[in-house]
Structure 1
Amino acid sequence: MNLLLRNVHKSPSLIAFSDYRESEAHNDLQTSVSNSGELLEYETLELRVHPPNIDIDNEYDPSCTLITVDSANRPGTLVEVVQHFTELGLNVRRARISSDGGWFVDVFEVTDFDGSQVTSNRKLASIKQMLNIHLRGQEVPVFNADETDDQQRIVTTVFELAGEDQSGLLADVTHLLTTNGCDVRSAAVWTFKNRVAFVLSVTDKGQPVRDGIKLQRLKQLLRTMMDKHGNGVVNIKTVQGEVHHDRRLHVLMLREEEMQWEQGHSKPRYHMRWNSSLGEAAASPTDSAGSMHAEYMNLPDADSDQLSHFRSPKHSRPDVSITHSSMNGYWLVTIKCKDRTKLLFDTVCTLADMDYDVFHATIDSIKGAAMQEYYIRPRLGKPELDELKAAKLAAMMESSIQRRFPRGLKVHVHSVDRFGCLAALTDVLKQGGLAVTRAKVKTFAVNQSSGHTFYVMDATGAPPDKDKVEEACKQIGGHLVEVGEEARSASSGQHRFSFSFLNRQWHKGWNGDSSSPSSSHGSV
């Protein structure tokens, strides 16, 4: 038997959970071979024989819900779980992650958005089935925490774009899509370090765009828009149901930032600090012989200049350090920063996308402070510490945490859902000399309305003039409302806007006038 199995290729650490999900979706019969006749590797069979087990306990602690997940281990499984929590609006306050011998057991203490236990039957059912890849159609639990069109499992065409950040780019992209008959159902935009990423879900008369010639033409035009040198990213795919905007944005932004980092870091730009008190005979990752603190140089960015003063008060520069144990072969990544929602999601996405496997981890949140420790190894290559790779990993981990904090004035726009609404809004902002640094757009199925959240700056990079923003909004029939009123139904057809300077940190010398300091940093 050993002779027969010797030549069977098994790669337990290379086949991702998402790939397994996709292969199973196309494998209608529960067989041991794929549709192409190839033998499915051992772990695939084990996942079928021993499907993931998810236990939910609301009696362990009245202040939280304890969720235990155990399953055959696949790269990306941890991301799948944490992403599911994030999209349900849940917060992970503590976690213990452990894997050994191709199996993992993860324990999470989670709370609902209001800090209470998770008691919603819909959310509990969704958690219970979050790793079940055999559900079909309407059996699939709703992941998102809001009442969007995802509930109806509509099929859309998703555009994933990334490239050089340019003022007015969002308006140009949405205008191009609208003039070609594409209705934007949902969208998300991130900007960071002079790079930008879009994820837009569109339909053509209620259906995904099926005209191949149109899609090819749009792809060519968008690639030119995203980067004048032709290095932009344009991916087009058909998706049924929910679109994982944040997950895809992490992938796109990581590619952009890796490219920038490699251009400016042909050699490590950090200082090595050896912790001599531990000695060479350290026996565990926490007592490793060498300690390397990632004091790398940041890429050029307006964030490090005078404009850094008006980011979100939740912003904090994380302390990222990487140590190594030659005995156990683990890299220990330690992150200390302010606690916030989606922090765990941001860090595990980066580790997964950079091909690092998490073997063990401890996640703690105490009184607003977060402490994360990951015991990892590179999925490919040797486990020995590579200084350049470690410096790059530390830089990308820091970026993944910091890019959650956009600069600018937060603007909410709610309106009746209508074709071309996003293109009209962004065009008015562009004509008003305003640049969008972050955007989130949703279409709500319940009351046929759409919600838009923008962070805007002056096109010069200076803080925006509140009157200028209000004037731009009035051009499309809106009016200023008190904070909180924007959550009401938009059944009247009139746009609602809310503006708040309360949640931003403004330098006392910046009044939003023409004399405010400017920056060369572009925004979409």
Structure 2
Amino acid sequence: MQVSSSPSNCKVFSSSFPSLPNCFAVFHVRDQEGNKVYSKKAINYIEQAICTRDPRRFTVTRLNELASRPDVAAHYTGIEMIGHNRPGIFSEISAVLAEHGCSVMEAHAWSHKDSLACVAFVSDESTSSRISDPNRLASIQDHLGTVLGPGTSMDEDGRSARAHLLGPDGLTSHPERRLHQLMFASKDFDGQPGQVSTAFPMLSLDGYKKGTGAVVSVDRCNDKGYSVVNVECVDRPKLMFDTVCTLTDMQFNVFHASVSSRGPFACQEYYIRHRDGHMLDTLDERCLVVKGVKAAVERRTCEGVKLELCTENTAGLLSYITRVLRENGLTVTQADIAMDGDKMKNTFYVQGISDNKIDMDVVESVRRELDPLPFQVKDDELLSRGQLEGEQVADRNGFCILSLLRSKIERLSHGFISSG
């Protein structure tokens, strides 16, 4: 089963797909405001995405994404980048593309720990077509490589910094899926070792306040030959997508899963085997899964201020915006740039370069400098922390206990019994 992100604005609050001869899955979804989904457009999209209309089709059309267009290879050049994260690096990438006459039609960038990954679709600024000159492409690739890190050489941890031009097949890959793959290949999860546990741990209040408190554990279901991955974290859109994609990229098959959420919290449980059929037999394997899944949850989690601009796509606009942010002491930690109808929607998460904190007077200065561009500020960090602090610890732990009991009941009903 291939899981893709969806523009239908629906959020999974519980799901289950038990291990059966034929794949069978049940998802309970609400819209992002927590209401029942009535939109015909959203329902039709979901039906198409999960192939209920034609089970032979496994192609999902993603609205407003260039990768979903059949003519993408004829009109756009795709570039994927992986490098060493540092303040202002996204601004430098944007400047290189502008200097080489590239019009950025879509771009997605994530930063996590000391890694940065970016996937961009560009066209020739003067002709609005694909860049085909090999010398020009080589120059773009070389200059981006210089910005991203020490050329294309490996660092002491065996990680490379590079810019890679995508072929026709790469242009149709899901951008966020590629970001996960690039980050995992760069070993962004390396840092403090993940703690492997055979128990189902309680939630960390401090971790939740920071918005990055994913608790991941691995145990065993010996009778069925499965390893069981448990994930507890703050709920958010695309959480299940991020987790399942990473498990798949780590060469695991998911045979059974249960996902539930209440308020801002979510619990996920996955029964997996390696593609060659074996369980997670060694401590090193379990450590890698814990670190890999924890990183997958954290990559999309951003602390900081969210800035949104929706305007005409003019030459050098992205470079100008990111330069203004950098000159005002702000660094981009995550970016999503895409066409929204006939407008270009720019979404940035920013933090202070010196101490990660942001003086709102600085944001107002940026607003004035970017005037008359339509500019919105959304402090997601303060919103999420306020929501979390409003929850009682007992409620959180009660949710975990209920989720654990429900999980145990489902295990028994399907013949899954875990053992340490």
State the TM-score, normalizing by the size of structure 2: 0.77
Of 472, 493, 497, 2:375 maps to 497
- Matching residue within 5, 21, 39 for 1:120: 39
Letter of the structure 1 residue corresponding to residue 27 of structure 2: F
| More helix per residue | 2
In 2, Cα distance between equivalents of 1:312 and 1:149: 35
Structure 2 Cα separation of the partners of residues 109 and 506 of structure 1: 23
Matched, 1:370 2:266: yes
Match of 1:249 in 2: 179
Matched, 1:466 2:355: no
Residues 275-333 of structure 1: CA deviation (Å, up to 9, x unaligned): xxxxxxxxxxxxxxxx26799xxxxxxxxxxxx99x99682512211111333211011
CA contact 1:208–1:238 (8 Å) conserved in 2: no
Change (3 A) 1:257 1:427: same
**Tell me, which stretches of 5 or more residues in structure 1 are unaligned?**
1-76, 274-290, 296-307, 479-493, 508-524
Please give the secondary structure, in 2, of the residue aligned with 1:217: helix
* Distance verdict in 2 for CA 1:369–1:429, change over 3 Å: closer
Residues 326-349 of structure 1, C-alpha deviation per residue, up to 9 Å, x if partnerless? 332110111122322211111111
Counterpart in 2 of 1:223? 145
Shift of 1:119: 3.7
Aligned 8 A contact 1:183 1:203 in 2: yes
Contact 2:149 / 2:161 at 8 angstroms: preserved in 1?
Answer: yes
Q: Which of 224, 227, 247 is matched with 1:351 structurally?
A: 247
Decide which of 205, 210, 215 is 1:319's aligned counterpart. Answer: 215
CA shift, 1:423, in A, is 0.9
CA separation in 2, counterparts of 1:129 and 1:506? 33
Aligned to 2:409: none
1:385 aligned residue:
281
**1:412-470 Cα deviation digits (max 9, x unpaired):** 2222221221111111222222211111112223xx32221222222223412222233
Q: Does 1:97 align with 2:17?
A: yes
- 1:278 aligns with none
451, 454, 470: which is aligned to 2:345? 451
Which letter maps to 2:42? Answer: K
**Change in CA separation of 1:339 and 1:167 when aligned onto 2, cut-off 3 Å:** closer
2:121 corresponds to: 201
AA matched with 2:301:
F
* SS of equivalent to 1:115: coil
Partner in structure 1 of residue 164 of structure 2? 235
Q: Contact 1:441–1:452 (CA<8 Å) still a contact in 2?
A: yes
| One-letter code aligned to 2:163 | V
Change (3 A) 1:294 1:197: farther
Question: Which whole-Å CA distance do the structure 2 matches of 1:249 and 1:461 have between them?
Answer: 26
Query: Cα RMSD (Å) of the superposition?
Result: 3.4
What is the alpha-carbon distance in structure 2 between the residues aligned to residue 206 and residue 122 of structure 1?
A: 31
Give the secondary-structure state (helix, strand or coil) at the position aligned to 1:105: coil
Q: Percent identity?
A: 26
Distance 1:214 1:292, change over 3 A: farther
Q: Equivalences for 1:388-403 in 2 at 5 Å?
A: 388-403=284-299
Query: Counterpart of 1:341?
Result: 237
Equivalent position SS for 2:310:
strand
Verify: 1:442 aligned to 2:361, yes or no: no
Choose 343-352 or 463-472, whichever is displaced more. Answer: 463-472
Q: 1:159 to 1:109 in 2, by over 3 A?
A: same
Report how many residues are paired. 368
How far apart, in 1, do the equivalents of 2:262 and 2:353 lie?
39
- Structure 1 residue aligned with 2:155: none
Rg larger for: 1
1:38-49 aligned at under 5 Å gives the runs: none
1:126 and 1:143 in contact (8 A); partners too: no
TM-score, length of structure 1 as denominator length: 0.62
Q: Work out whether residues 125 and 141 of structure 1, in 8 Å CA contact, stay in contact via their aligned partners in 2.
A: no
- Partner Cα distance (1:506, 1:127) in 2: 28
Of the candidates 148, 168, 183, which is equivalent to residue 103 of structure 2? 183
Deviations along 1:179-235, one digit per CA (max 9) or x if unpaired, are: 222110111211111211111111123222222332233222222221225321323
SS of equivalent residue, structure 1 residue 88 = coil
Is structure 2 residue 261 aligned with structure 1 residue 332? no
Pair 259,346 (structure 1): closer, same or farther in 2 beyond 3 Å: closer
Name the CA distance, whole Å, in 1 between partners of 2:383 and 2:20. Answer: 46
For structure 2, list consecutive stretches of 5 or more residues without a partner in the other structure.
Answer: 153-159, 386-420
Structure 1 range deviating more: 406-415 or 329-338: 406-415
Alignment correspondent of 1:88 = 8
Moved more, 404-413 or 123-132: 123-132
Displacement after TM superposition at 1:133 (Å): 9.4
SS of equivalent residue, structure 2 residue 24: strand
> Within 2, Cα distance between the matches of 1:213 and 1:312?
49
Q: 1:152 to 1:389 in 2, by over 3 A?
A: closer
- Name the stretch that deviates more: 199-208 or 311-320: 311-320
Deviates more, 1:343-352 or 1:200-209: 200-209
Residues in 2 aligned to 1:293 and 1:229: alpha-carbon distance in whole angstroms = 44
Q: 1:50-61 residue pairs with structure 2 within 5 A?
A: none
Aligned equivalents of 1:193, 1:419: Cα separation in 2: 32
Rate the CA distance shift 1:312–1:197 in 2: closer, same or farther, 3 A: farther
